[in-house]
């Protein structure tokens, strides 16, 4: 599968201020360019004490600029030229001193001058703090951060953990991969701004005894991609996940469950507070009627043990019943993982669950994979996603589904936000 180019055609101005976290900025430049962006690095004098302009120029492919008096700009207005060219300005790392400078509107060197001169409607400012935990927690810093947020600045982080000074706590700059995810999200169209979206993902695990259980091959990758895409689209996202080995998407609240009953108990109250419910999880239909207290031992027996099964609660049907009694809120989207006759089985599930939308896919062909092809089915029609039916990566599919969902929600009579 080809590499993702989420920032293709975008131009990022990356500002570096004084701090040991400048070493992470080198990797961030690499990730940004790999994602398709062009990057102009602007450094303060203090930043150059931690990493050389030569390094940043080699990685970005552009000359690094440090002075507002740089004569290479024909009009000697680097702060105007750079801010008009940029799709976003990212300050990473942002020191406590530089955050104070931004909050006060001071502009005594090129980077702060460029931030002040940017067109706020078209060039967002993203600030990734990096400092000692005491500096981050100081009331002055917190006031300055609050002022920046009031002015529309997006604060990325900070993270928590080991610090260069030997202390541990808040104030670490986020890792480059996390910053990249946040930058992509900041530039994405907000087609679902403030919508509350509840998503289930992954398999469930129904224990037979303390070490064995009934489960399936679901990796959770599609559900997690949907959660990330929904957050990028501006939604407030709740993810209820069965047991998977995947990191939580940035900005998403995750609740872990194990069994179908646990998922049901978590989902039903949340669904009543949601605009959209997307049931991506592969929930076990059945569970053992009784749980063995201890591991069932073989001990030379020639006959396999037997156990009675009982039906699990139908989470999607229960939420759909709530929705149908509440003017269609939440808007319910089901997933159908089939092995054959995809359209027939998907449409049957749509009617059986009494929901407006089903997303069908061939489960054996996609479980555990990073790509997929989907079939979007409603009561009147169906179409392939992507249009040519050729599998693409799941995040691309998830983003396309968010656009599809936004169009459908635009025709809904009401939502929790109206």
Structurally, the chain folds into a number of domains equal to: 2
Whole-number Å distance between alpha carbons of 38 and 36? 7
Question: Does residue 182 lie in a domain region?
Answer: yes
- Residues 176 and 273 grouped into a single domain: no
Region of 67 (left: φ > 0; alpha: ψ -120 to 50; beta: rest) is: beta
Which residue, 187, 210, 240, sits at the end of a domain?
Answer: 187
- Residues 176 and 203 grouped into a single domain: no
Least confident of 128-142, 171-185, 348-362: 348-362
pLDDT at 3: 62
Question: Does residue 153 lie in a domain region?
Answer: yes
- Residues 46 and 177 grouped into a single domain: yes
Which residue, 136, 168, 187, sits at the end of a domain?
Answer: 187
Predicted structure pTM score: 0.90
CATH number for the domain that contains residue 72: 3.40.50.1950
Question: Does residue 6 lie in a domain region?
Answer: no
**Block residue for tokens 């407030």:** 236
Which residues are known to be catalytic?
Answer: 165
- Residues 376 and 243 grouped into a single domain: yes
- Residues 179 and 200 grouped into a single domain: no
User: Is a pLDDT exceeding 80 seen at residue 133?
Assistant: yes
Please provide the distance, in angstroms rounded to a whole number, between the alpha carbons at the two ends of the chain: 41
Question: 417 falls in which pLDDT band (50, 70, 90)?
Answer: very low
Which residue, 129, 163, 187, sits at the end of a domain?
Answer: 187
Question: Does residue 226 lie in a domain region?
Answer: yes
Distance of CA 290 to the CA centre of its chain: 38
Question: Does residue 2 lie in a domain region?
Answer: no
Question: Does residue 84 lie in a domain region?
Answer: yes
Q: Is-contact 120 154, C-beta < 8 A?
A: no
Question: Does residue 418 lie in a domain region?
Answer: no
| pLDDT tens readout for residues 140-187 | 999 999 999 999 999 999 998 888 888 888 999 999 999 999 999 999
Closest CA to 3 of 26, 35, 28, 51: 35
- Residues 357 and 264 grouped into a single domain: yes
Per-chain mean pLDDT for the chain: 91
Question: Does residue 414 lie in a domain region?
Answer: no
- Residues 288 and 388 grouped into a single domain: yes
- Residues 90 and 73 grouped into a single domain: yes
Q: Which residues pair with 172 in a beta bridge?
A: 159
CATH number for the domain that contains residue 262: 3.40.50.10300
Structural domain including 176 reads 11-187
Distance of CA 364 to the CA centre of its chain: 26
- Residues 122 and 94 grouped into a single domain: yes
More confident call, 277 vs 413: 277
- Residues 155 and 201 grouped into a single domain: no
Q: How many CB atoms lie within 10 A of CB 182?
A: 23
| pLDDT tens readout for residues 225-240 | 999 999 999 999 999 9
């Amino acid at each position: 599968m080809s590499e993702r180019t989420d920032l293709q055609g975008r131009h990022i101005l990356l500002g570096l201020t004084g701090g040991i976290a400048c070493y992470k900025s080198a990797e961030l430049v690499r990730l940004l360019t790999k994602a398709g962006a062009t990057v102009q690095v602007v450094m303060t004098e203090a930043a150059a004490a931690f990493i050389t302009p030569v390094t940043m120029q080699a990685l970005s492919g552009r000359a690094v600029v440090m002075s507002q008096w740089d004569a290479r700009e024909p009009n000697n207005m680097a702060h105007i030229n750079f801010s008009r060219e940029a799709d976003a300005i990212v300050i990473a790392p942002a020191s406590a001193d530089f955050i104070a400078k931004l909050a006060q509107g001071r502009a005594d060197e090129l980077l702060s001058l460029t931030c002040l001169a940017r067109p706020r409607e078209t060039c967002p400012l993203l600030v990734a703090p990096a400092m000692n935990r005491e500096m981050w927690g100081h009331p002055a810093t917190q006031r300055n951060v609050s002022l920046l947020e009031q002015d529309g600045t997006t604060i990325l982080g900070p993270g928590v953990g080991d610090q260069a000074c030997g202390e541990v706590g808040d104030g670490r700059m986020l890792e480059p991969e996390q910053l990249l995810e946040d930058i992509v999200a900041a530039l994405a169209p907000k087609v679902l701004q403030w919508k509350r979206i509840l998503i289930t993902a992954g398999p469930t695990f129904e224990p037979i005894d303390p070490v064995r259980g009934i489960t399936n091959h679901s990796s959770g990758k599609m559900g997690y991609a949907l959660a990330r895409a929904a957050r990028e689209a501006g939604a407030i996202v709740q993810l209820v996940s069965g047991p998977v080995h995947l990191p939580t998407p940035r900005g998403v609240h995750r609740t872990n469950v194990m069994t179908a009953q646990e998922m049901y108990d978590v989902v039903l109250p949340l669904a009543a507070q949601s605009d959209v419910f997307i049931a991506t999880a592969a929930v076990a239909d059945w569970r053992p009627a009784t749980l063995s207290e201890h591991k069932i031992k073989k001990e030379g027996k020639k006959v396999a043990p037997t156990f009675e099964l009982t039906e699990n609660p139908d989470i999607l049907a229960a939420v759909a019943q709530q929705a149908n009694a509440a003017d269609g809120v939440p808007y319910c989207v089901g997933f159908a993982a089939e092995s054959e006759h995809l359209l027939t089985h998907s449409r049957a599930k749509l009617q059986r669950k009494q929901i407006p939308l089903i997303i069908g896919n061939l489960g054996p062909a996609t479980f555990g994979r990073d790509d997929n092809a989907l079939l979007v089915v409603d009561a009147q029609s169906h179409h392939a996603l992507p249009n040519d039916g050729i599998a693409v990566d799941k995040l691309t599919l998830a983003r396309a589904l968010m656009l599809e969902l936004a169009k459908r929600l635009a025709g809904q009579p009401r939502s929790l936000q109206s």
